[in-house]
């Protein structure tokens, strides 16, 4: 006996199941595209986990760039509450990004080696969206554009980001507009260079934190930036630990220094004066 498909009765609360083409959900989310972007190059089942987790990280990088560009624009327009809201959202997103290490953090060397060759010269430091994240955090380096010379659109986007103020540059410019004595050499620095700590900026942040009643908005901004900085530090350390566990001190994929390079990165704080100023409050 054949059965006709269930069709919701008129006026019922059942969802509409009959669409002429793809579903509105598919049209919006593009799930079919996302779930067919995985093309493992080995027979090891663990490679699928590595590939999907890495792709998820790239999506979180994209969201974080969006949030930090939103915050930068809001600071430029003196809209601190809008900037703080974007930074607070990015904290939750960083927590989700950092959790992406959990599926990879338990890899043994043998498990990683079973599909490591499939990566070839591929390495995370070649991620253009991650590089845009780092540039927004003030960690600029023109040499990091070199891997992207073969992709004109990506290279142009990175070159633009290299020359633009970082999130922290915009915060310091806002402090100057509020009448705080940010040095001219900080405000007029070469934006394509890595941000270097300033004792004068440290003293400004210390003064803001010593008198929170007079600088309520700026303290909120400072704390939101510090929350971001803490989770970026945790991301770098989780990356370091996962790499140590999977491959020890061997040369990294793509010829990078592997653990040695990650150790150097993990030792650095973004928004440095927000950390050192606390010793003087």
Q: What is the pLDDT of residues 13-49, one digit of tens each?
A: 788 888 888 999 999 999 999 999 999 988 888 889 8
Q: Is the pLDDT of residue 9 over 60?
A: no
Averaged pLDDT, 232-255? 81
CA angle (87 as vertex; 171, 146 as ends), nearest 5: 75
Pairwise CA distance, residues 90 & 233, whole Å: 14
pTM of the model: 0.88
Q: What fold is seen in the domain 44-114+124-247+256-280? A: Methane Monooxygenase Hydroxylase; Chain G, domain 1 (1.20.58)
User: Is 253 among the annotated ligand-binding positions?
Assistant: yes
Q: Which residues, 6+ apart, have CB-to-CB distance to 204 below 8 Å?
A: 175, 180, 181, 182, 273
More confident residue, 3 or 218: 218
Mean pLDDT (the chain) is 90
244 — pLDDT class (breaks 50, 70, 90): confident
56 — pLDDT class (breaks 50, 70, 90): very high
User: Is 54 among the annotated ligand-binding positions?
Assistant: no
Confirm if 240 and 263 have CB atoms less than 8 A apart: yes
Please, is 157 exposed, middle or buried when counting C-beta atoms within 10 Å of its C-beta (0-12, 13-18, 19+)? Answer: middle
Residues 86-128 have pLDDT tens digits of: 999 999 999 999 999 998 888 788 888 887 777 777 677 789 9
The count of residues in the chain is 281
User: Is 239 among the annotated ligand-binding positions?
Assistant: yes
What is the predicted pLDDT for the residue at 249?
Answer: 74
Confirm if 115 and 47 have CB atoms less than 8 A apart: yes
Structural tokens at position 277: 């100023």
């Amino acid at each position: 006996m054949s059965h006709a498909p269930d069709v919701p009765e008129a006026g019922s609360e059942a969802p509409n199941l009959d669409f002429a083409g793809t579903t509105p959900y598919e049209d919006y989310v593009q799930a079919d595209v996302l779930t067919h972007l995985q093309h493992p190059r080995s027979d090891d089942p663990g490679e699928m986990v590595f590939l999907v987790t890495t792709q998820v990280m790239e999506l979180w990088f994209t969201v974080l760039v969006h949030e930090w560009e939103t915050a930068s624009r809001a600071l430029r327009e003196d809209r601190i509450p809008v900037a703080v809201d974007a930074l607070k959202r990015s904290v939750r997103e960083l927590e989700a990004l950092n959790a992406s290490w959990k599926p990879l953090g338990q890899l043994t060397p043998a498990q990683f080696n079973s599909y490591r060759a499939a990566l070839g010269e591929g390495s995370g430091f070649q991620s253009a969206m991650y590089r845009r994240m780092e540039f927004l955090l003030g960690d600029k380096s023109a040499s990091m554009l070199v891997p992207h010379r073969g992709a004109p659109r990506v290279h142009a986007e990175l070159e633009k980001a290299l020359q633009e103020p970082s999130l922290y540059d915009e915060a310091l410019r806002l402090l100057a507009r509020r009448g705080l004595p940010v040095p001219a050499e900080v405000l007029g620095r070469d934006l394509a260079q890595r941000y270097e700590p300033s004792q004068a900026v440290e003293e400004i942040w210390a003064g803001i934190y010593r008198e929170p009643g007079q600088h309520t908005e700026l303290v909120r901004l400072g704390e939101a930036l510090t929350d971001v900085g803490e989770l970026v530090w945790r991301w770098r350390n989780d990356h370091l630990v996962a790499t140590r566990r999977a491959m020890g001190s061997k040369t990294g994929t793509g010829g990078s220094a592997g653990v040695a390079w990650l150790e150097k990165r993990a030792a650095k704080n973004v928004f440095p004066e927000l950390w050192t100023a606390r010793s003087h409050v």
